[in-house]
Amino acid sequence: MGTTQLETVPEPKYWHLRTVLSNALDSEFEVGEILPNERELAARFGVARATLRQALEQLELEGRLQRRRGVGTTVAPPRVGVEVNPTRHSWPGAPGDAWQTEGCAEDVPPAVVGRALGRGDEKVYTVHRVRTVHGQPVATELLYVPPASVPGLSGIAGLETDAGVARGRAVLRELQRLELGGQERTVELGSARAEDAKRLDRLPGAPVLVLTTRYLAAGGTAAVAVSTYRADTCRLTFGESAGTGLLAAG
Amino acid sequence: MGTTQLETVPEPKYWHLRTVLSNALDSEFEVGEILPNERELAARFGVARATLRQALEQLELEGRLQRRRGVGTTVAPPRVGVEVNPTRHSWPGAPGDAWQTEGCAEDVPPAVVGRALGRGDEKVYTVHRVRTVHGQPVATELLYVPPASVPGLSGIAGLETDAGVARGRAVLRELQRLELGGQERTVELGSARAEDAKRLDRLPGAPVLVLTTRYLAAGGTAAVAVSTYRADTCRLTFGESAGTGLLAAG
DNA sequence: GAGTGGTCTAGACCACACA
DNA sequence: GTGTGGTCTAGACCACTCG
């Protein structure tokens, strides 16, 4: 990438630096390769370390770089396409879905979820799940299920006091009994809460794509899922055709 | 929000600050209200301005704050839900769509688009469009249409030399004649290129949601659209039910 | 212990909006 | 002109990974 000094241009240094580094990544580096450390890069380009870091942050946001404390900065592989098919009508936990149940609690949901469920601030089952791709966790999920949606549950002896994986699975199992009337989804940018960040192997505040799904049944909202995907490594794909999915690939 | 000093906690100051400010926004501020300026806030919390700014950046990323140079920092309204319905089968430019055509050029598309189009690096029509909500631009789009998808175009006298809005409209009009076989979409995080940033009234590098759509017809890719949405103000909604869309609202 | 990225400071100057 | 947020500097120390 040379030892080029930055010219005086009317654009911010960090932005110009981002462009220079981006081009260098395209032409001179392989995926997985380690970049020189920040202090050396800053010196090489004649800027303060903070300025260089601004450029690196941009590139990390774009999924071009991966930075790990104590290790270094590496060239990131292309983002993985993650299927979140809205037209495949199925409940969470249906056979073959990509999630792993981690636990279940009974909590009052956040206000926005409570509103979508149409039931004020009653307690609901809150199932924690994790989604992994190639062994790496890429998303966490909180699935909110009102007890009314899974009436069969309360009759199962012993489950009331089980706060763990088994109860989560039971909730999902009961959900399958309902007829799914449709779903409604939104995607927005968020920042990882401390707990999610830990599960996703990121720092708190890391950018995430928040996918909110409202599951409809019998004219009402049967459940709401809030899924938190790593924004640096994931590209959400809404496949519709049965085809190979060109966009999903690289 | 008080004059509270930050306690010594094992979490970063900027993260704690983010939480404190977030709570203050919920309880003590109205939408549109102007916050004290950064220098005063920093002093009030006993941190350096750079640290305070890290917290503000987080909140802006989450759509809680809006910062404008020369003006100040204001409390942002809730994100607007923007319909990007994948199940409503229609071409871009169909009657009633929310976009405004701004121009048209003939360019070689970026490599990733060329691949999705399945045609190496030939020139394609590149239609520029803008989407506004409540008069504010929320997204820009580049729509790539190979000439083969709009065979009727070349026969229209005079349009070959028109590089502007009229040609863009003509391309969209011709597209409607094809039968839409399906579409495939992806959403990922990106940062606004300088040109997009200007149109979206943001700084270069601002976080955006990039929605890529592959339009299928006659067994191939008839067009590819790359839509760039402001991530701070937009929530993409994939409505499926004909219902009101609870998630789309506030 | 050495080396990495992450946090934080206390300044400076700039670009922009608005009166 | 005044005040705002945006950029940039040159340091310091911390938290983490790994040999």
Contact A168, A174 (CB under 8 A): no
pLDDT in tens, B179-227: 888 888 999 999 999 889 988 989 889 999 999 999 998 878 999 999 9
Contact A124, A107 (CB under 8 A): yes
DSSP A70: T
Mean pLDDT of chain A: 86
Residue B137: CB atoms within 10 Å: 16
Select from B75, B91, B118 the last residue of a domain.
B75
In this structure, is residue B197 part of a structural domain?
Answer: yes
Indicate the pLDDT class of residue A154, thresholds 50, 70 and 90.
Answer: low
Provide mean pLDDT across the span B147-161.
68
In this structure, is residue B146 part of a structural domain?
Answer: yes
Asked if residue A69 and residue A103 are part of one domain, the reply reads no
pLDDT in tens, B178-192: 888 888 899 999 999
Indicate the pLDDT class of residue B242, thresholds 50, 70 and 90.
Answer: very low
Asked if residue B151 and residue B62 are part of one domain, the reply reads no
Asked if residue A60 and residue A36 are part of one domain, the reply reads yes
Asked if residue A116 and residue A90 are part of one domain, the reply reads yes
In this structure, is residue A7 part of a structural domain?
Answer: no
Instruction: List strands edge to edge, sheet with B80-83.
Output: A99-107, A124-133, A136-145, A220-230, A207-217, A182-191, B234-238, B80-83
Instruction: Report pLDDT for B181.
Output: 86
CA distance, residue B143 to nearest chain A CA (Å): 15
Asked if residue A86 and residue A201 are part of one domain, the reply reads yes
pLDDT > 80? residue A132: yes
B61-85: b or e for each residue (b if 16 or more CB lie within 10 Å)?
bbbbbbbeeeeebbbbeebbbbebe
Give the residue from B134, B131, B107, B137 showing the smallest Cα distance to B121: B107
Euclidean distance between CA atoms A2 and B157, whole angstroms: 51
Asked if residue A114 and residue A206 are part of one domain, the reply reads yes
Q: Amino acid letter at B18? A: R
Give the residue from B56, B46, B47 showing the smallest Cα distance to B19: B56
Indicate the pLDDT class of residue A164, thresholds 50, 70 and 90.
Answer: confident
Q: State the CATH number of the domain containing residue B85.
A: 3.40.1410.10
Identify, with chain letter, the residue nearest to nucleotide C8 (CA–C1').
B51
Closest nucleotide relative to residue B53's CA, C1' based: D5
Return the structure tokens found at A12.
């911010």
In this structure, is residue B5 part of a structural domain?
Answer: no
DSSP A133: E
Contact yes or no for A188 and B240 at CB 8 A: no
In terms of pLDDT, which residue wins out, A179 or B15?
Answer: B15
In terms of pLDDT, which residue wins out, B50 or A156?
Answer: B50
In this structure, is residue B147 part of a structural domain?
Answer: yes
In this structure, is residue B8 part of a structural domain?
Answer: no
Euclidean distance between CA atoms A86 and A84, whole angstroms: 6
Select from B32, B50, B75 the last residue of a domain.
B75
Distances from the Cα of A18 to the Cα of A54, A55, A150, B242, angstroms: 8, 5, 51, 44
pLDDT > 90? residue A189: yes
Select from B75, B91, B111 the last residue of a domain.
B75
Contact yes or no for A116 and B185 at CB 8 A: no
In this structure, is residue A3 part of a structural domain?
Answer: no
Instruction: Report pLDDT for A218.
Output: 82
pLDDT > 90? residue A238: no
Residue A220: which domain range? 79-247
Return the structure tokens found at A65.
């770089």
Instruction: Report pLDDT for A240.
Output: 61
Beta-ladder partners of A80: A234
Asked if residue B183 and residue B112 are part of one domain, the reply reads yes
Q: What is the pTM of this model?
A: 0.89
Asked if residue A132 and residue A18 are part of one domain, the reply reads no
Let me know the angle formed at the C-alpha of B74 by B68 and B76, rounded to the nearest 5 degrees: 105
Given the DSSP bridges, would you call strands B72-75 and B65-68 parallel, antiparallel or unpaired?
antiparallel
Asked if residue A41 and residue A83 are part of one domain, the reply reads no
Indicate the pLDDT class of residue B88, thresholds 50, 70 and 90.
Answer: low
Provide mean pLDDT across the span A41-59.
97
Q: State the CATH number of the domain containing residue A52.
A: 1.10.10.10
Asked if residue B118 and residue B88 are part of one domain, the reply reads yes
Instruction: Write B19-23 long-range contacts (CB < 8 A, 24+).
Output: B20/B45, B21/B55, B21/B56, B21/B59, B22/B59, B22/B64
Give the highest mean pLDDT range of A28-32, A98-102, A197-201. Answer: A28-32
pLDDT > 50? residue A249: no
pLDDT > 90? residue B134: no
Contact yes or no for A116 and B241 at CB 8 A: no
Structural domains counted in chain B: 2
Residue A217: CB atoms within 10 Å: 17
Instruction: Report pLDDT for B10.
Output: 74
A-chain residues within 8 Å CB-CB of B81?
186
In this structure, is residue A106 part of a structural domain?
Answer: yes
pLDDT > 50? residue B40: yes
Asked if residue B216 and residue B110 are part of one domain, the reply reads yes
Asked if residue A231 and residue A127 are part of one domain, the reply reads yes
pLDDT in tens, A58-109: 999 999 999 999 999 999 999 999 998 766 678 888 887 889 999 999 889 9
Euclidean distance between CA atoms A46 and A52, whole angstroms: 9
Strand C and A50 CB separated by under 7 Å: yes
Indicate the pLDDT class of residue B152, thresholds 50, 70 and 90.
Answer: confident
Instruction: Report pLDDT for A219.
Output: 77
Provide mean pLDDT across the span A22-44.
96
